[in-house]
Structures are given as C-alpha cells and as structure tokens.
Amino acid sequence: MSLTSEQVRKVASLARLELSDAELSDLGAKLGQTLDYVARLNELDTDGVEPLVHAIELSNVLRPDVLAPSLPRDRGLANAPRTDGKHFLVPAILEG
Amino acid sequence: MSSLLNLPAAELVTRLAAGDVTSAALTEECLAAISQRDSSVRAFLNVDVERSLAQARSIDARRAAGESIGILQGLPIAVKDLICEEGVSCTCASRMLENYISPYSAHVIERLRAAGAVLVGRANMDEFAMGSSGENSAFQVTANPWDLERTPGGSSSGSAAAVAGRLTPMSLGSDTGGSIRQPASLCGVVGLKPTYGRVSRYGLVAFASSLDQIGPFASDVHGAALLLEAMAGHDPRDSTSVDRPVPSYTNSLNEPLKGLRIGVAREHFAEGLDDEVAEVVRRALDVYRSLGAELIDIELPHSKYAVAVYYLIAPSEASSNLARYEGIHYGHRTEKAGSLADLYARSRGEAFGTEVKRRIMLGVYALSSGYYDQYYVKALKVRRLIRNDFDAAFAKVDVIAGPVTPSTAFKLGERTSDPMAMYLSDIYTIPANLAGIPGISIPAGLSPSGLPVGLQLQAAPFAEETLLRAARMFEAATDHHRLIPPMARS
C-alpha cells in the first residue's frame, strides 16, 4: 500500500514538519512499504498478552524532594537561536 | 618501530600502568594516525588536538607524582557525537545541531574522565543514530577501513571505524537496534551493548528511550570489559538506570567458563543469512565445542517479528523525543519564520535529513488517533513475546551464539534507496534491544572475500560478566582480534 498525499500531509502537519512535494511523494511510498512489512504482526494472536513498555520494568522511581542546583540561566540560553539574555524569543503569537 | 596502535587494548593499559608508555606518547600516536589516515576513513567529525594532549600530559604528571590514575590509565578514546561533553560540540551528525555546544557532561563522560580517559574527538554517525550504514550523516560518509568503498555499518559508523582503522584503541557508541554490534561486526572489532539500565543514559541524546544504551568498542574483549567497568553503575539522574553492584569485569575475564552451555537458534540460520557469514559463524561454534562448551538447540520463535516490532516502537519513541527540536530552545531555526507554527515546521523541515523525517512520520502515524492500538500497542505485546522467548532460552543456556548481521560490509550507496533492505541488516541485533538483554559482537575471522565477520553472543539481563568471559574464551583460542586492515598496518 501507499499512503495518499492527503494522509501524508495530515501526518506531516501532526509532526510539525514542512515537506517539499518531492518529499511528500517519497514518504507516501516509503511509509507504505514499511507499513506493509509490519502488517505481519497481525499473524499473531496477542489477546491477553500484557504490553511490554520497558525491558526493565521499574515503577515509581522516587527521590527525596530536596532543592539542588540546576543549569544556570546563561548556560541554558547559550544555544538559543534568539534570546534577549533572559528569555527565549519567539514570533508574536497574538494578533494586533 | 611498530606502532603502539597495533597492540590490543589490554596490552596498552598494562604498558601505561607500568609507566613503559606515557599517555602523551600514545595520544600523539593517535593524533598522527588520525592526520595520516582519517582523510580516507572519515571517522571523526571533530578532533581537539591541544585539549587531548593537555589531558594526556596532566594524566602523565599525576602518575609521575605518584597519584593513582583510574583504570583507563590515560587511554585515548573517541566518543560518538551524540554523548554530551560540556563545552564541546554535539551535532548528532545533524544540521539541526550543527552549532550546538553541550552545556553539561553525560554521566559516562564524567565516569571516563575519572577513570583516566583521554577524549580525543567526536565520532561520525547516522543522523540521530538512525541508520545502519553511516550514510545518513549530514556531514560526511565514513568508510570501512577494510575496504574504503564499503560501509563500516551504523549507526556508530565513526566509533567502529576509528577502532578498526587503529586511530584510537577504544570508543563509545550507542545501540538502539544494533548500532554498536552491527558496525563492530562489519569492521572486525569488539562492540558490546550492555543490559538496558546498566549504563546511565544521562547526557545521551535520546532516540528511542526504552531501547537506547551506551556501550564500548575496543580492539579486544579486555578493552570492552574495561570501558564497561569504567562507565557502568547507578546514576539517579537516569531513572531507568538500575541500582545493582558492578562486578570487576576485567578481574574474572581470563577464567574460562566450565560447562558453558551455548544456545544455538535455528531462526538465526534461516533464509536471508549469507552463506559466507553462516560458514564463519559455524566455525566459531566448532571452536566453542572444542573448548568443552555444550551446544544446545533453542527456539526463538518470535524473533522473525522483531524488525516489525522495532519499526513501530523506535519511531514512535523517536517522534516524541525529537519533538524537542523546534527552533526555539536550541538547534536550527529557520530564517523564513511567519507564525509560531510555521517556525516549528520550517525549522524542522529544513534541518532534519530524509531518514529522520521518515521515522518521525512513521512514529506519528503509529501513535495517531485510530492507529495507536493497531500499531503501537500491538508491537508492545509482541515485544513481550520476544522477551518471553529469551527468558525460556536462558533457563536452559548461559549464552546464545549466532550471527550479528546477515552479510559482510555492503558497498556504500548500495542500500540507500531501499529503507527496508537497510532495516533488515539489524534482524539479529534488534531482539536484544527489545528484550533489554546484553549482546556482544566479537571478531570471528574473515570471509573468503577478506571482509570481517562478527560472532554475536547474548546473555540474560545483567550477565555481562558471563558474556565477556565467554567472548574472551573464543578470543584467546583464535586471535582473530589481532587482524588489522591493510590500510592501518604500520
């Protein structure tokens, strides 16, 4: 199967990816091939099988609730594409 | 004079510790080898000559002053370019992080420094560790030192090629579906993926968090044991890191395992395995038999579903992990921004490579409303069945032996247009990641065409000591690890 360009566009929008027309058509075909391949999982009856999310099944790993130093602001901002030294800058999100 | 870099890691450590060789002299040899040979191997994205020499000289000065140096004794090490080191660039071989400088160091970097490592440079890789040939790097394609027209494997392409090309005696990689073991096999070096949770992932750039593990490459099993020993152990900053004592892997390494039970799975020799690889692996099994091991048939009936499970779980986790690259906090930001939504989509569309986009899209699709149970949850259920197969097998055997990857190193460019063919090169390595068990690739000799073939050993969770001792038994009996690619002989 191949995903329709409509489907690929919808997934790209959910993924926040701007794609060229060439990329959209390549992705439709390549994703389709992979989905065809993974369809073999339907050969297996998995009723009653508990999903395995993590190989080492730890739960509720807790630590004492104490203050500890975190990354200083200047280092946290050091890789920001745009900053005023205190904040990360983004385009205006409200009209007017 | 024969180069120090032709010596196995075990011998280098002994000489450093005895003061027969200085860390500075060894580091200078590495830097010279990199300047002579890396223009053709292209294993490194970044080498800091002054900094690594300064580290080496400081270790030598401490040794001269009678201070104890950690177990790595001043060994030079290459680091895959997705493990953060404070003040050093960490690109993940992506345009997205081309200018990123890590603000802090990974747990393993702190550990390696404390253990006396010299960190010489950053190794190339597939972008965000997604790939099996190294060709998805946004910056350069690493070559296999055994044949420069062939792939070193991936995603830890540079880490494997650096050790095979005798540029550094050891390196760090990461393994999500085979990214340490597959390149180790194709390059004829030792590569180990530890048990999930054995090594802290703090400071490892995340690809698929339930599968990723950092592990060592080395020219011999001793080197891999040493590097694992230096970095394994609990770290509260990674909540999946397991609080269990770390044995001295090197202390017991040379004790052969009496009555070793080796599992051999029919599924590992089924259709798809190249004859020349099968032949080398069968000969390796004969070596174990001659050493007194008992070979026992086992079944891994769900292993044939592992690639399908992996290509749902890994992209799902990746799509979530890579959502952090949005052009605001760090990484590439488009010049063409309109609205905030455009800024996200354009920054990501401009900076991610093709394979990364494919995997994000696949993951978003598998997790999207209406498909979540059909794809993601289904994959998690089959993941349980794969784990159950291993649990049943390890009730009967100590290790499982088999191939690492179906073929020897393929030609660069051969599989780039066919993602499914590329994905299937990890068919024998992916199950260990899904089940969380440790696995190692050790050199098993050369194919008739002169290319390295690895033998994979896998063991039960946290049985690295058994795994390494079993690997060392083979190595001690065969010496395949002393084979050096012609281009690296000096």
Q: What is the ipTM of this complex?
A: 0.95
Q: What is the DSSP string of B85-148?
A: -TTSB--TTSGGGTT-B-SS--HHHHHHHHTT-EEEEEE--SGGG--SSSTT-SS--PPBTTBT
Nearest-Cα distance to chain A for B45, in Å, is 19
What's the pLDDT at A1?
A: 76
Beta pairing, strands B76-80 & B118-123: parallel
Beta pairing, strands B439-446 & B118-123: unpaired
Mutant choice from A3, A41, A65 vs B, greatest count of B C-beta within 10 A? A41
What the block records as the tokens of B201 is: 């992932």
In this prediction, residues A8-19 reach a mean pLDDT of: 96
Residues in chain B closer than 8 A to A11 (CB atoms): 361, 364-365, 368
Does the CB of A60 have a partner CB in chain B at under 8 Å?
Answer: no
Q: Is the distance from CB of B444 to CB of B281 less than 8 angstroms?
A: yes
Does the CB of A5 have a partner CB in chain B at under 8 Å?
Answer: no
Domains of chain B, with CATH numbers? Answer: 3-253+437-488 (3.90.1300.10)
pLDDT tens for B145-180 read 999 999 999 999 999 999 999 999 999 999 999 999
Residues in chain A closer than 8 A to B379 (CB atoms): 38, 41
Cβ separation of A19 and B357 shorter than 8 Å?
yes
Which of B7 and A55 is assigned the larger pLDDT?
Answer: B7
Q: Is the distance from CB of B190 to CB of B410 less than 8 angstroms?
A: no
H-helix segments, B368-456: 372, 378-394, 419-423, 430-435
What the block records as the tokens of A39 is: 């369809």
Q: How far apart are CA B207 and CA B210, in angstroms?
A: 9
* Cα diameter, chain A: 57
Q: pTM of the entire structure?
A: 0.97
Residue B80 is a catalytic residue: yes
Cβ neighbors of B467 (< 8 A, separation 6 or more) are B192, B399, B438, B439, B440, B457, B458, B459
Q: What is the DSSP string of B334-362?
A: -SS--SHHHHHHHHHHHHS-HHHHHHHHH
C-alpha closest to that of B101 among A73, A77, A87, A82: A77
Average pLDDT of chain B, as a whole number: 96
SS3 B199: strand
Instruction: Give B338's pLDDT tier (boundaries 50, 70, 90).
Output: confident
What the block records as the tokens of B283 is: 């000969």
pLDDT tens for B406-434 read 999 999 999 988 888 889 999 999 999 99
Cβ separation of B343 and A90 shorter than 8 Å?
yes
pLDDT tens for B100-114 read 999 999 999 999 999
What's the pLDDT at B1?
A: 42
Residue B179 is a catalytic residue: yes
Residue whose entry in the numeric block shows the structure tokens 């091991």: B293
Residues in chain A closer than 8 A to B307 (CB atoms): 37
Residues in chain A closer than 8 A to B346 (CB atoms): 18
Cβ neighbors of B395 (< 8 A, separation 6 or more) are none
Q: At what angle do helices B49-64 and B23-41 cross, to 10 degrees?
A: 160
What CATH code is assigned to A5-42? 1.10.20
Residue A95 clears pLDDT 90, i.e. is over it: no
Cβ separation of B361 and A17 shorter than 8 Å?
yes
**Percent of chain B's residues with pLDDT above 90:** 94
C-alpha closest to that of B443 among B383, B415, B484: B484
